[in-house]
Chains A and B, each alone.
Chain A
């Protein structure tokens, strides 16, 4: 598997929160090459199990979570041949005017988020951002035809081609968090050539962008011994203070704080140092805003960790990251998993069976 090719496929697929089927198939195809078992749960999470080699039963397990949903839009009303919409997930509305989209009606309809040309706007109007109820999508169809093809509730995805930039950097939509899904696939590929005692549940979760819902329910169903979420974090950008970012190309960010079990953090850092994988500490003083936050407090709780891929321009269609960071994160996770043994379980205080 090539990270770049897989990420491109994932990025260009449609899978808005709650409607992830389009991207789930791609993930299933890829994960099934390394997994012993795959299933889909009630909410739509894709759960792949790669068994470990330990002889005790039940075997210890680790769950990796990367979310496959993306932010998107939804049709709320048809008005005079134009489409009104609502947002699914967190949007800065300012990136929308002029954005190309696909309205998934009876068939896929390319469209544009309409803007009025600068010539007809007053200087004051141009100073203001456009609120949601003033935005429309134009698919270029007359009213009657539109009504035949599109209805309230149809999903809309943002359109953007995957782009290769210089130096192993790539840009596209939905790298949050499909980069993590690609990373997990890469990790599984590595694990296939290594020995590991613990069972690995690789979960492509749903609806993270609207409340970590897939992580909550999949973790409840699996109750792994430990959980590691893989997500993206803010990469260095012009105009953003250094304290708020990590370096794109500087390696995966490993989080530390209340959401993270200190022993998991220590083991991840130890592994990175031992195998000379560049990494960056990621101090996280409160909610991590990722699946790890939900996993940690499921049922009686479990030790959790978070590994993030540095990403610029998050939640836009030009999210930018370094493929090297994805690769490093995948390798780090594989080596970490291979290091898990019963002694570590004891150190974590996990119940003996």
Chain B
């Protein structure tokens, strides 16, 4: 999955997705009939249907990742920052970041254990108390390398871990995994007009999907995600959010959407008929672009299919290439049948 590596290592924090967009455009340019970039930076590509269809299907995968923004440069050269999108303070300490267009390396420092009182080690350090060290000793030196407003990403190279699940680790699988799936899907032509929307700013409020859905005005939609895979051993745990290796996760309900029952049934039926493993994402957790799309104009029946990814919204995430490929398979087979789905009520 060379493309997943390139996608994962590209830098694209919410509001600054340009580099990722370029990678995707280079990959799909020759596969689609039309494409455009809208006012917010969404990349919207159309692959026309191969029949006499007029049905429009929108599939969204978001290009942005959570990251940091440089807010202030202290007199002695260290950088104050603020998360962009939801990041738990506890994953930030002692991590490496790359700042700005020039990918200036920095580290989020943490007080050495030797100098900490035992009590202090039990307290969560808030991001406001942290700073990034880029190796300079004055504000002037810092300003030659970075500026206030620069975006920073976690410095995490993509690595294949192998094994029966063909696991890989890297950053931003939420949602470069979804982007990778969507790029694969664009290889084929389907009985419906496929609008592939590579959206921006999902992590700060499903912003790109909202305007993309308005302009596309689809008949139905799918969101492709890299979703919570919380299968660590826990007390009293019988069915975690999703499990690595058990296949694409289908959403029934999360905090942003109640998936259209007919689309969910179509997905299940397609998986079973084609021998594709699948699982259900535990209800009532998380939100995706489908949350914005299904409320567009007069409403759009929508569903969410996701690749289980451990440790999303932290620097390094993990997924199984088996799950990724099964997600492509499930979507491919579903798109082949979705034109016949009766959407009348």
Contacts and interface: CB of A to CB of B under 8 A. Distances in A.
Interface of A: 241-243, 256-261, 281, 283, 285-287, 296-297, 299-303, 348-350
A303 B39 CA distance: 6
A58 B37 CA distance: 23
A286 B84 contact: yes
Interface stretch (B110-118, B204-212, B241-249): B204-212
B213 to A, nearest CB: 10
B82 A299 contact: no
B192 interface: no
A300 B197 CA distance: 13
B149 interface: yes
Nearest to A302: B39
Nearest to A350: B39
Contact of B207 (A241, A296, A303, A349): A296
**Most chain A beta carbons < 10 A, residue from B14, B39, B148, B210:** B39
A297 B211 contact: yes
B82 A287 contact: no
B325 to A, nearest CB: 32
B71 A285 contact: yes
Contacts, number: 72
B69 A283 contact: yes
Interface of B: 14-16, 37-40, 42, 68-72, 80, 82-85, 128, 147-149, 200-201, 204-205, 207, 210-211, 214-215
A258 B14 contact: yes
**Most chain B beta carbons < 10 A, residue from A281, A283, A299:** A283
A243 B80 contact: yes
B204 A281 contact: no
B132 to A, nearest CB: 13
B82 A285 contact: yes
Given A243-B71, A285-B71, A296 B15 contact: no
B315 to A, nearest CB: 18
Given A257-B15, A258-B15, A300-B211, A285 B40 contact: no
A281 B71 CA distance: 10
Contacts of A257: 15, 69, 84, 149
Given A257-B15, A286-B204, A301 B211 contact: yes
A258 B204 contact: yes
**Most chain A beta carbons < 10 A, residue from B68, B128, B148:** B148
A287 B205 contact: yes
Given A242-B72, A301-B211, A258 B39 contact: no
